Chain A
């Protein structure tokens, strides 16, 4: 039972490049989330999904897009990366309350 798996774990981008972060969960959870963690800012919700085919904006959605085509996967896309998007990104899922987190993706945008 892998839980929540994030791919990749580390990535360095140049300004303007695009990339997709993949979150996969094998617990059949309905709800999935993308957060970013920055020093002194805590975890801020980027986007979330309450079921397959649905997505909703969180606190800091600008510059990101998401898709939940399959229940087990939640993709986070950066179309044109900016240095302000340098952060640690966490994916989480839940059946309804307790959040299960992935191990994080460290992204640097130069």
Chain B
């Protein structure tokens, strides 16, 4: 069965510091992997996605993520965090076979000025 684990519920970083949000998935085949961001009271916005090919994917707002099949991970990174990045981040997994998209429990990011 598909599952997604985001082990960090809350993360606090200082503005300008680097960021890494962890995501581990369980899926039998090669998954589609996504990172979404949700600002308070808002809907979800897609940051980036991985389907196949280059395992390092670039997204919007300066985010990137790396697919590591051997570790079943798809961690999100940003070299320098801005105060406007404070939000909740969700990792999601799906497939072209089932079109069933499952989300992790989210990581809430706080940015200190």
Within B43-98, the residues touching A (CB, 8 Å) are 43-44, 46, 49, 51, 90, 92, 94, 96
- Looking at the assembled complex, report how far the CB atom of B40 sits from the nearest CB atom of chain A, in whole angstroms: 12
The distance in angstroms between the C-alpha atoms of A41 and B90, with both chains bound, is: 11
Mark interface residues in B2-44 (1 if CB within 8 Å of A CB, else 0): 0000100100000000000000000000001010100000011
Q: Is B102 an interface residue (CB 8 A)?
A: yes
Q: How many A-B residue pairs have CB under 8 A?
A: 53
C-alpha gap A45/B46 in the complex (Å): 17
Contacts of A44 in B (CB 8 A): 103
Task: Contact check, B102 vs A99: say whether CB atoms are below 8 A apart.
Answer: no
Among the 9-residue stretches A14-22, A73-81, A90-98, the one with 4 or more Cβ atoms under 8 Å from chain B is A90-98
Q: How far is the CB of B73 from chain A (nearest CB, A)?
A: 17
How many chain-B residues does the 8 Å CB contact rule pick out? 22
Please state if A101 and B101 are interface contacts (CB–CB under 8 Å): no
Name the interface residues of A26-61: CB closer than 8 Å to any CB of B: 31, 33, 35, 40-45, 48, 50, 56, 58-59
* Chain A proximity mask over B92-113: 1 for CB below 8 Å, otherwise 0: 1010100111111110000000
Pair B43/A41 contact, Cβ less than 8 Å: no
Contact size class for A? 20 to 34
Are B101 and A42 in contact (CB-based, < 8 A)?
Answer: no
Q: Return the contact of B90 from the options A42, A59, A97 (Cβ within 8 A).
A: A42
- Nearest-neighbour CB distance to chain A for B3, whole angstroms, equals 9
- Could you list 7 A-B pairs, sorted by A, with CB under 8 Å? A43-B103, A45-B100, A45-B101, A45-B102, A48-B100, A50-B99, A99-B92
Q: Which residues of A contact B (CB under 8 A)?
A: 31, 33, 35, 40-45, 48, 50, 56, 58-59, 90, 92, 94, 96-99, 101-104
Q: Residues of B at under 8 Å CB distance from A?
A: 6, 9, 32, 34, 36, 43-44, 46, 49, 51, 90, 92, 94, 96, 99-106
The 4 closest A-B pairs by CB, nearest first: A42-B105, A43-B103, A101-B43, A42-B106
- 12 additional A-B pairs beyond A40-B105, A50-B99, beta carbons within 8 Å, are A40-B9, A45-B100, A45-B101, A48-B99, A58-B100, A96-B99, A97-B94, A98-B34, A99-B34, A99-B44, A101-B43, A102-B43
